[in-house]
Structure 1
Amino acid sequence: MGLISLLWGIVAMIWMVIALIPLLGWGNWFLIPFAAVGAIVAAIGIMLTRAESRGRAKAGLILNGIVIAVAVFRLSIGGGII
């Protein structure tokens, strides 16, 4: 679960960078649910693994959280409407 959430977060981060390009802000509407699923997978991974091996799941949760925060900010300034 940790590896899946980490890879999910990396894909979401790449998608976020692409969605920062002007006129591609509409991608944030799809990015937020995508990253939310990655964060849920990471949370499940944190709950189900031992304390010693939670690093990848925590990293995936942080990456997906950053992506969600940036996408919500980008939409709040009106970039997703164009």
Structure 2
Amino acid sequence: MFVKHLQEYLDKFTEGPNGMRGNAVSNARIYIMTSKGYLEEIKRIEVHESNNPKDTSIRVVLKPNKEEKLILPPGYIKDY
């Protein structure tokens, strides 16, 4: 997944009347799901760039809080 895909997806939820931005999704917390089925809140987002001048790659890294907030029911753990 690329950042542009996430932006396009979230645009569907944040566009309001007359092209205005902002609604409940704008203030939603972001979590990642661990392999054990727990949700961990994102503590920090980092952008990493290559140190090699010939490599123009960039990646976005989501750093979790490492607190197992809640466990998901088994039906929600599947990777779609």
What is the TM-score normalised by the length of structure 1?
0.26
TM-score after normalising by structure 2: 0.26
> Larger strand proportion, structure 1 or 2?
2
Greater Rg, structure 1 or structure 2? Answer: 2
Q: Which has the higher helix share?
A: 1
Higher relative contact order (CA 8 A, sep 6+): 1
